[in-house]
Structure 1
Amino acid sequence: MNHVFLSAGPGFYDDGLYIGVTRLAHRAPAAVDSGISVWSEYGLGLFAVLMIIAWWRARAAGAPQLPVLSVPAVVVLAFLASDVVKSWVSEQRPCQVLPVTPLDPCPALGDWSFPSNHAVIAAAAAAALWSVDRLLGWIAAPAALLMAASRVWIGAHYPHDALAGLLAGALMGALLTHAAKRIAARYAVDCAPQRRPVR
């Protein structure tokens, strides 16, 4: 059953922007396009590396481990929520309905577009990392923006897919990591050794 509440064909407010970006991509130097394509395909690996570094830094500093260890779980939950929305909305990829030739091969029919899972994952990771390690957050935040932009550049998503992914991922990442921090604080209090009263 199709649940499209956006449009399955041409008519989005950002159709023109999408077409303009894809045409610009074809006029850009090949090295630029290759770099963006590689980043779009493999750039999420950077966030996994940053998660490992965050754990190492927290461990070295003697900080609570639960918030840092929750970051991968936060990202997985954000991805799962995004995938549910994507299946429910069933928005067709722009390269399937607009007269463009994307930089990368167009995903098959039924590989839905809204929101961008890459943007959701990147933004959730960035927000979670920002919450547990501000230095790594400064690296992850622009990386998430670049990931979302790259999805439009290669022709895989409308701009609104990327923007929605960024917003949803950042919100889920921040809220879930805040919850993990509160649980960690509660657990630390509950597990703290009880001091005997001084007589």
Structure 2
Amino acid sequence: MVAGSAVPAFDGSHIDGSLFTTVTDFASDTTWLNGAMEWWTNAGLRVFAILMVAGWWRARRRGNTAMTLALAVPVAVVVAFAAAEVVKKVVGEVRPCRSMPHAFLVDTCPAPSDYAFPSGHTTAAAATVAALFLLDRRLGAIATVFAAIEGFTRVYVGAHYPHDVLGSALLAVPVAYATSVALRRTLTPAVGRLRDGALRPVLAASAATGAPIDR
């Protein structure tokens, strides 16, 4: 039970609390790295936004299907994040800072109503990986590396248990992938019409930079 809360909360420390403390003990031994990791755990999400923009830019030189997938990436991330928020409320897992208050914590402890499972940061990262993989495997591979770093930082700063990070990936990847596939199937014709219309400068590269390779 979370102190001061009338809602029973799940204590995830019994699942992998020892692994959590192994990581946070490492954080305690690397205090010189704490500031950078705390900064990166939030600022690092900007990398995924940059990768989305890169996917859109590359898709301008490709066809309607690629552009549809590029536009679907942020939508897929939002859908996956919304699903994670629903699961978070249903599970109601109390944060490690409340279950294990004596662990070394870099991050500040959030409000009691801000539950731990799954990790929202990792959900956004993993969803970006899945959606970008459909569009451009090279960008997807880059996103995978940064998603792994993001997941590790969430445990390092003490914000989440390892199973919160793993669970968010297991949730986000299929949801984001399915969302992108569904949008590709339903919106590609509409995107094609927009590319041939007023939005052509935004959705398609000029003839000088190369015509689309598929329609």
Task: Tell me what 2:57 maps to.
Answer: 56
Relative CO higher for 1 or 2, CA cutoff 8 Å, sep ≥ 6? 2
Shift of 1:106: 1.7
Equivalent residues in 2 for 1:74-153 (5 A)?
Answer: 74-98=76-100, 99-153=102-156
SS at match of 1:60: coil
TM-score, scaled relative to structure 1:
0.85
CA distance in 2 between partners of 1:33 and 1:18 (Å): 16
Amino acid paired to 1:155: G
Amino acid paired to 1:54: G
Query: 2:31 matched to 1:37?
Result: no
CA distance 1:3–1:178, shift in 2 (3 Å): farther
Deviation per CA, 1:83-139, whole angstroms, max 9, x where unpaired?
111112111101111121301212222211010011111000111011111111111
Shift of 1:29: 4.8
SS at match of 1:95: helix
CA distance in 1 between partners of 2:133 and 2:12 (Å): 37
Task: Tell me what 1:70 maps to.
Answer: 72
CA distance in 2 between partners of 1:3 and 1:180 (Å): 38
Moved over 6 A (4+): none
Unaligned runs of 5+ in 2: 1-5, 194-215
CA distance in 1 between partners of 2:81 and 2:12 (Å): 25
Shift of 1:33: 2.3
Task: Tell me what 2:18 maps to.
Answer: 16
**Contact residue 8 and residue 91 of structure 1 kept, 8 A:** yes
CA distance 1:100–1:58, shift in 2 (3 Å): same
Amino acid paired to 1:84: V
Shift of 1:13: 2.4
**Contact residue 90 and residue 114 of structure 1 kept, 8 A:** yes
Amino acid paired to 2:118: P
TM-score, scaled relative to structure 2:
0.79
Unaligned runs of 5+ in 1: 191-199
Aligned residue pairs total 187
SS at match of 2:61: helix
Task: Tell me what 2:165 maps to.
Answer: 162
CA distance in 1 between partners of 2:91 and 2:23 (Å): 24
**Contact residue 2 and residue 88 of structure 1 kept, 8 A:** no
**Contact residue 68 and residue 188 of structure 2 kept, 8 A:** no
Shift of 1:189: 9.7
Equivalent residues in 2 for 1:184-195 (5 A)?
Answer: 184-185=187-188
CA distance 1:186–1:2, shift in 2 (3 Å): farther
**Contact residue 19 and residue 162 of structure 2 kept, 8 A:** yes
CA distance in 1 between partners of 2:25 and 2:109 (Å): 15
Q: Percent identity?
A: 38
Report the RMSD for the aligned CA atoms in angstroms: 2.2
CA distance in 2 between partners of 1:130 and 1:16 (Å): 34
